[in-house]
């Protein structure tokens, strides 16, 4: 495919596909058409058995009891301090059967953390990370593309953050076959409509699914996308990235993810620390910045107040390919978080002006009735 | 990819084309290709002194920031202002989208730089 590869947490991952036009072209294909991502580095943990719900409730901050079979939710695993082990998507596979999709960089840590904290429950914890290859199909035309190879499944009936199981048409040269019972979820990490499918990870199978998506996607202008575009897409949508907006030293309130944290559900790890954190009030909060002078804020750059005093730091920053602006996420004290506040980002020793803007930077347009 | 024979090159992937005591400086086609989509260029002001092997600005792709190293010493006489609004010109044609022009302090400094053949060999080895 001519991908530019990069090592990412021990995985050889495509950062961009120059033959597809590079990061900007990939990014904009997802905003206006469709792109596909090899996200095989993502991990999966299955928790099943009589106490599986109680276990999931204990280890994650969202309320898994609200999930119907076939439904998914954004959630997070927390340390007792209310900071992040990882953010996850919890899928309810069956009556007593859940799957957590976890990040690559935190995989080993997550698996042992989940095992340790589920030990008191009557449930089995299984690491399925090596069994599945996750492929994301993202963009306003994702449904049209994926529908081409899922003839038995009506994708239009799969709502956002729901999933189904279906057959995927897979062909190699002259032979055609169906991969049965594939998990097809309407989820993603691009702030766009789209799907994530979990196919068997053996190379012939995952490669042929990838190739068929490229082949049948030609009529929709499908573009293979790398981690570079995945990062700029999620940044425009203010979707957090572990090690940047969330980490083991940042708590849920600071990250602004309270709406996924259900304080009224049964007790969970991190809850009591968050109660205290809420009482104490925030010392820093995540804001969106737009550069108003020339310059691109990058991860780790210092944020200064108008007088040049350091008040915070950038967690992620980039040129935003669809918005065509230089944007960033940063932690600053609440008194600097008001919309319109002017701040500076220190770029190579120069203070460069920025202002606090509403987030997410990008919101996908509402689907028009069709 | 062809590297003009009348340019000299650095191992940091800049090119320089001398014309008497002035010279034009840019980054190579190989550099733009490895950087990917260029979205920002920071250049010195006219009158700034630059020194051989020292940074004089930076170029940013979507992913990363890269320093620019001057192939020779001198004083900046002209800056390619188009790049402020159209940095992608470097991706389109790195060997004509120049960055700065300088008055050379010592034209003999260029002798130690790579020829087009040497640079091509260097890039091939680097890969």
For residue B38, give how far its alpha carbon lies from the nearest alpha carbon of chain A (Å): 10
Number of domains chain A is built from:
3
For residue B39, give how far its alpha carbon lies from the nearest alpha carbon of chain A (Å): 7
Show the domain range for A112.
43-127
Chain B residue at shortest CA distance from A16: B36
Which residues make beta-bridge pairs with A288?
A: A329, A357
ipTM here? 0.87
What does the pLDDT look like over A160-181, one tens digit per residue? 999 999 999 987 767 788 999 9
Nearest to B62 by CA among A41, A316, A135: A316
Evaluate the omega torsion of the peptide bond into residue A360 and state whether it is cis, within 30 degrees of 0.
yes
Determine the average pLDDT of the residues in B115-126: 94
**CB distance A294–B84 less than 8 Å?**
yes
Are residue A287 and residue A209 in the same domain, yes or no? no
- Residue B36 is nearest to which of A16, A295, A318, comparing CB atoms? A16
3 state SS of A363: coil
B36 touches chain A (CB under 8 A): yes
Query: Please, what is the average pLDDT of chain A?
Result: 94
Chain B partners within 8 Å of A352 (Cβ): none
Chain A residue at shortest CA distance from B66: A348
Nearest to B17 by CA among B97, B89, B88: B97
B42 touches chain A (CB under 8 A): yes
Percent above pLDDT 70 for chain A: 96
Are residue A148 and residue A73 in the same domain, yes or no? no
Are residue A119 and residue A192 in the same domain, yes or no? no
Q: What confidence score (pLDDT) does residue A171 get?
A: 76
Chain B residue at shortest CA distance from A322: B62
Residue finishing a domain among A85, A105, A127: A127
What does the pLDDT look like over B4-37, one tens digit per residue? 999 999 999 999 999 999 999 999 999 999 999 9
d(CA A184, CA A147): 11
Q: Give domain status of residue B1, yes or no.
A: no
Number of domains chain B is built from:
1
B84 touches chain A (CB under 8 A): yes
Are residue A200 and residue A159 in the same domain, yes or no? yes
Q: Give domain status of residue A105, yes or no.
A: yes
- Residue B39 is nearest to which of A16, A319, A348, comparing CB atoms? A319
d(CA A288, CA A357): 5
Sequence-distant (≥ 6) Cβ neighbours of residue A203 within 8 angstroms: none
Q: How far is CA A80 from CA A61, A244, A270, in A?
A: 12, 20, 4
For residue A105, give how far its alpha carbon lies from the nearest alpha carbon of chain B (Å): 19
Residue finishing a domain among A127, A148, A178: A127
Place of tokens 């010195």: B44
B67 touches chain A (CB under 8 A): no
Chain B residue at shortest CA distance from A295: B40
> Taking an 8 Å Cβ-Cβ cutoff, which residues of chain A contact chain B?
4, 15-16, 18, 22-24, 228, 232, 294-296, 298, 318-319, 321, 326, 348
A370 band by pLDDT with thresholds 50, 70 and 90: very low
The pair of three-digit structure tokens given for residue A342, joined into one six-digit string: 């002017």
Determine the average pLDDT of the residues in A179-199: 97
**CB distance B39–A295 less than 8 Å?**
no
A8 band by pLDDT with thresholds 50, 70 and 90: low
Q: What confidence score (pLDDT) does residue B1 get?
A: 62
For residue A313, give how far its alpha carbon lies from the nearest alpha carbon of chain B (Å): 18
d(CA A93, CA A97): 5
Q: What confidence score (pLDDT) does residue A1 get?
A: 47
What does the pLDDT look like over A143-164, one tens digit per residue? 999 999 999 999 999 999 999 9
The pair of three-digit structure tokens given for residue B101, joined into one six-digit string: 């022009």
Q: What confidence score (pLDDT) does residue B61 get?
A: 94
Whether A369 has a pLDDT exceeding 60, the answer reads no
Chain B residue at shortest CA distance from A17: B36
**CB distance A295–B40 less than 8 Å?**
yes
Percent above pLDDT 90 for chain B: 94
Q: Give domain status of residue A261, yes or no.
A: no
Are residue A34 and residue A61 in the same domain, yes or no? no
What does the pLDDT look like over A264-311, one tens digit per residue? 999 999 999 999 999 999 999 999 999 999 999 999 999 999 899 999
Q: What confidence score (pLDDT) does residue A9 get?
A: 62
Determine the average pLDDT of the residues in A323-344: 98
What does the pLDDT look like over A11-52, one tens digit per residue? 677 888 888 789 999 999 999 999 999 998 899 999 999 999
**CB distance B40–A298 less than 8 Å?**
no
Are residue A218 and residue A146 in the same domain, yes or no? yes
For residue A4, give how far its alpha carbon lies from the nearest alpha carbon of chain B (Å): 9
Show the domain range for B109.
8-126
Place of tokens 């130690």: B112
Q: Give domain status of residue B67, yes or no.
A: yes
Q: Give domain status of residue A190, yes or no.
A: yes
Q: Give domain status of residue B51, yes or no.
A: yes
Q: Give domain status of residue B25, yes or no.
A: yes
């Amino acid at each position: 495919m001519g991908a530019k590869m990069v090592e990412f947490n021990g995985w050889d991952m495509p950062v961009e596909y120059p033959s597809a036009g590079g990061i900007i072209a990939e990014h904009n294909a997802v905003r206006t058409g469709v792109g596909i991502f090899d996200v095989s580095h993502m991990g999966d943990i299955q928790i099943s058995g009589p106490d599986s719900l109680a276990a999931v409730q204990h280890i994650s901050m969202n309320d898994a009891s609200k999930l119907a079979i076939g439904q998914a939710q954004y959630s997070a695993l927390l340390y007792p301090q209310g900071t992040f082990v990882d953010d996850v998507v919890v899928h309810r596979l069956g009556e007593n059967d859940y799957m957590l999709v976890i990040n690559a960089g935190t995989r080993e840590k997550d698996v042992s953390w989940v095992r340790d904290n589920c030990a008191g429950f009557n449930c089995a914890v299984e690491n399925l990370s090596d069994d599945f290859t996750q492929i994301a199909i993202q963009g306003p035309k994702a449904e049209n593309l994926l529908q081409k190879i899922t003839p038995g499944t009506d994708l239009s009936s799969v709502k956002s953050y729901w999933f189904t199981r279906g057959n995927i048409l897979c062909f190699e040269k002259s032979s055609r076959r169906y991969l049965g019972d594939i998990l097809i979820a309407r989820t993603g990490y691009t702030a766009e409509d789209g799907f994530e499918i979990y196919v068997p990870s053996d190379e012939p199978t995952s490669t042929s699914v990838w190739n068929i998506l490229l082949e049948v996607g030609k009529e929709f202008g499908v573009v293979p996308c790398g981690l570079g575009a995945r990062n700029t897409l999620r940044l425009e949508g203010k979707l957090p990235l572990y090690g940047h907006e969330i980490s083991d030293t940042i708590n849920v309130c600071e990250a602004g993810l309270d709406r996924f944290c259900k304080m009224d559900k049964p007790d969970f790890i991190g809850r009591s620390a968050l109660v205290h954190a809420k009482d104490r009030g925030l010392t820093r909060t995540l804001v969106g910045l737009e550069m108003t002078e020339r310059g691109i804020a990058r991860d780790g750059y210092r944020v200064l107040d108008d007088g040049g005093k350091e008040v915070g730091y950038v967690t992620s920053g980039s040129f935003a390919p669809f918005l065509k602006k230089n944007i960033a996420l940063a932690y600053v004290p609440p008194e600097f978080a008001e919309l319109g506040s002017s701040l500076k980002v220190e770029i190579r020793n120069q203070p460069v002006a920025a202002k606090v803007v509403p987030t997410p930077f990008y919101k996908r347009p509402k689907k028009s009735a069709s | 990819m062809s590297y003009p024979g009348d340019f000299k090159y650095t191992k940091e992937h800049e090119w320089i084309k001398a014309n008497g005591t002035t010279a034009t400086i840019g980054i190579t086609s190989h550099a733009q290709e490895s950087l990917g989509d260029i979205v920002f260029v920071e250049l010195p002001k006219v009158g700034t002194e630059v020194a051989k092997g020292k940074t004089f600005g930076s170029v940013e792709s979507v992913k990363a920031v890269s320093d620019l190293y001057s192939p020779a010493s001198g004083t900046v006489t002209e800056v390619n202002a188009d790049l402020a609004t159209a940095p992608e010109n470097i991706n389109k044609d790195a060997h004509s989208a120049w960055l700065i022009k300088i008055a050379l302090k010592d034209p003999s400094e260029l002798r130690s730089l790579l020829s087009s053949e040497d640079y091509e060999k260097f890039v091939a080895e680097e890969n």
